Amino acid sequence: MQKIKAAVCRAFGEPLVIEDVHLAPPGTGEVEVTLDAVAICHSDISYAEGAWGGFLPAVYGHEAAGVITAVGEAAGDFKVGDPVVVTLIRACGSCPACAGGQPTICETPYDTVKGPLKTGDGGPLEQAMACGAFAEKVVVSHRQIVKIPDDLPKELASLLSCGVITGVGAAVNAAGVRPGQDVVVIGAGGVGLNAIQGARIAGARRIVAVDMTEEKLEIAKEFGATHGVLASLDQPWKAAYRALGGRGADAVLITVGAVPAYDQAPRYLGRGGKAIMIGMPHSGDMASYEPVVLAALGQGVVGSKMGDVVIQRDIPWMVDLYKQGRLKLDELISGRWSLDQINEAIADTKTGSAKRNVILFDRT
């Protein structure tokens, strides 16, 4: 096992600790990726705060990009030197969910505690979310990665690993937004901005962003929102109705993990509309709605994990749209930090003003 630096969570709610940890070589079907960049997602922060429990110590991080530096047996067509994005979607490829085109909900379990990571003294260390990318290197399944063009900056590519595919995929895949439809996006953070981009790319007629601050609503318009509504208004869904020409939305995308957003989401829907649950509240949080309304108006509520993407299918076309100038990536990055500054980057992300903070690794 080789020694690498990683940001380790040893206690929920406490700062991460930069440590030397051990990383095993890639096994069958696996590759080693030396990372250039990893973005900070709110899911990483929620895990580190204990929102969903889990084993400690752990290494979080799951929005990454880098270069393959070792390849195990039966690892597809990948080779050393390939630039790739690394996702948390560890799919077996053969269970009913994978065979049905839904790898984001793969049914085959993977023991993240018995993965490739060990602490400096050889103890167990969780490879959180089957990724553990707050580290200089990762060892992951070849099904978790996608090759990218050599000239795509890794800091931008890392965003495609989660935030972009989750938001864009929720609009395109989960909601199935069609040209001419109207969409409401609740939350104009990193995932919300990408949901807005996805709705725009899919041809939505009107896109209403809902958020707590005017500043974020203005940013949302730069990404394709046609209207903005403050969530702090009394009955903000009525303002959304007015923005949509007196009707409810065909799709409401909830990109935040706040229970009030889930309570209110069905109120934004029009007849036959669908609410897509994307943001993840803490375990035990409960939301409520009036089911008779959904039944009477033919409405629906559905969960969407990672935008229901098939990464080998969806990431390449998103890269193409970026190169055509139709998908914003550069504008999503709020700050660039080193691994030693990860706690500062997390604190900045928690303020809510950042779109995406990215950790860059010095490979000189």
Mind listing the pLDDT tens digit for each residue in 199-237?
999 999 999 999 999 999 999 999 999 999 999 999 999
CB atoms within 10 A of CB 95: 15
The domain in which residue 120 lies consists of: 2-161+328-360
Q: Is residue 316 in some structural domain? A: no
Q: Are residues 231 and 298 in the same domain?
A: yes
Pairing of strands 83-86, 145-147: antiparallel
Q: How far apart are CA 301 and CA 306, in angstroms?
A: 16
Look at residue 296 and tell me whether its pLDDT is greater than 90: yes
Q: 344 and 225, same structural domain? A: no
Percent of the chain with pLDDT over 70: 99
In a domain, 185, yes or no: yes
* 284 φψ region: left (φ > 0), alpha (ψ -120 to 50), beta (else): left
Residue range 302-313: mean pLDDT, rounded? 97
Per-residue pLDDT at 363 exceeds 70 = no
CATH number for position 206: 3.40.50.720
What per-residue confidence (pLDDT) applies to 201? 98
Whether residue 349 sits in one domain with residue 256: no
* 45: in domain: yes
State the Cα angle at 98 between 107 and 256, rounded to 5°: 75
pLDDT per residue as tens digits for the range 121-175: 999 999 999 999 999 999 999 999 999 999 999 999 999 999 999 999 999 999 9
What is d(CA 59, CA 119) in angstroms, rounded to the nearest whole number? Answer: 10
What pLDDT score was predicted for residue 98?
96
310 pLDDT higher than 70: yes
Is 11 in the same domain as 155? yes
Number of domains in the chain: 2
Identify whether residues 190 and 150 lie together within a single domain.
no
Give me the pLDDT at residue 121, please. Answer: 96
Amino acid, res. 364: T
d(CA 57, CA 171): 35
SS (H, E, C) 217-256: HHHHHHCCCCEEEECCCCCHHHHHHHHCCCCCEEEEEECC
- For residues 328-348, give the mean pLDDT: 96
Q: Find how far residue 327's CA is from the centre of its chain.
A: 16
Contacting residues for 30 by C-beta, under 8 A, at least 6 apart: 72, 75, 116, 139, 140, 141, 142
Give the predicted TM-score (pTM) of the model.
0.94
- Tens-place pLDDT, residues 244-268: 999 999 999 999 999 999 999 999 9
Asked if residue 56 and residue 33 are part of one domain, the reply reads yes
Q: Give the pLDDT score at 354.
A: 74
Percent of the chain with pLDDT over 90: 96
**Do 315 and 177 touch, CB atoms closer than 8 A?**
no
